[in-house]
Homo-oligomer: A and B are copies of this chain.
Amino acid sequence: MLRVYGSLESGNCYKVRLLLRQLGREYEWIEIDILKGESRTPAFLAMNPNGRVPLLEYAPGKHLAESNAILNYLADGTPLLPADPETRARILQWMFFEQYSHEPFIATSRFYLHFLKQPDKYRQALEEKSGPGYGALDVMENHLRRSDYLVAGRYSIADIALYAYTHVAHEGGFDLGRYQAIPAWLDRVKRQPGTIGITEI
């Protein structure tokens, strides 16, 4: 059976759970407490030398890291990752956008505010992340004004990748109320069969 090492507090890990649920795949969940250093133990580093979750064990002793690589692997051959090369490239474009231009600002701000609960300690970092975070949301808003979903007008793993931290952006201090297309898209994603909440297994 598939095994996933992850943290219920992480949006990156939520992506994998959400996809597995929507694909109807069974899996074993192993909770890793990052704040207690459980992703940096010798045993964990032997599985993922980069010391991060989520981590997928897709066969005994075979591990795959990086949430969006895991989504591509698990969705291959399903309607959530169409075979057409142009669509696949466009899905990857949004996923690299997510990891480079979205997650480091929106997810990290949420980590400071929602989990560490230290707005004063991280005030400068939060201010620095605000502009790029809203910049990423602006890019999404502009795109979603013209399309119901991120790629090819249909639900795909690109939507899962961006939904994970966008739907909780307010927990990082971002005001989604200034957008129209993003909230409508969030509703469309939420209504997909099998959608679960961010802390649900």
> Would A89 and B64 be within 8 Å (CB), given that A49-B143, A50-B139, A99-B100 are in contact?
yes
A161 vs chain B, min Cβ distance (A): 11
Residues B96 and A69 in contact, CB atoms below 8 Å apart: yes
Contacts of A58 in B (CB 8 A): 86
> Would A66 and B50 be within 8 Å (CB), given that A73-B85, A76-B85, A85-B73 are in contact?
no
Complex Cα gap A72–B81 (Å): 15
- Is A97's beta carbon under 8 Å from chain B? yes
Contacts of A70 in B (CB 8 A): 89
Chain A: interface residue total (CB-CB under 8 A)? 32
Residues A66 and B139 in contact, CB atoms below 8 Å apart: no
Complex Cα gap A108–B101 (Å): 14
- Is A166's beta carbon under 8 Å from chain B? no
A87 vs chain B, min Cβ distance (A): 11
Give residues 84-109 of A contacting B (CB, 8 Å). Answer: 85-86, 88-90, 92-93, 95-97, 99-101, 103-104
Contacts of A65 in B (CB 8 A): 93, 97
Residues A89 and B72 in contact, CB atoms below 8 Å apart: yes
> Would A68 and B97 be within 8 Å (CB), given that A49-B143, A85-B73, A143-B49 are in contact?
no
Residues A96 and B97 in contact, CB atoms below 8 Å apart: no
Contacts of A143 in B (CB 8 A): 49
Residues B50 and A64 in contact, CB atoms below 8 Å apart: no
Residues A92 and B69 in contact, CB atoms below 8 Å apart: yes
Contacts of A90 in B (CB 8 A): 64, 69
Tell me the nearest residue of chain B to A101, going by C-beta: B50
Complex Cα gap A64–B139 (Å): 15
User: What 5 pairs between A and B have smallest CB-CB spacing?
Assistant: A73-B89, A66-B96, A69-B92, A69-B93, A66-B93
30 pairs, A vs B, C-beta closer than 8 Å: A49-B139, A49-B142, A50-B97, A50-B139, A58-B86, A64-B89, A64-B90, A65-B93, A65-B97, A66-B93, A66-B96, A66-B97, A68-B92, A68-B96, A69-B90, A70-B89, A72-B89, A73-B85, A73-B86, A73-B88, A73-B89, A73-B92, A76-B85, A92-B92, A95-B96, A96-B96, A99-B99, A99-B100, A100-B103, A104-B104
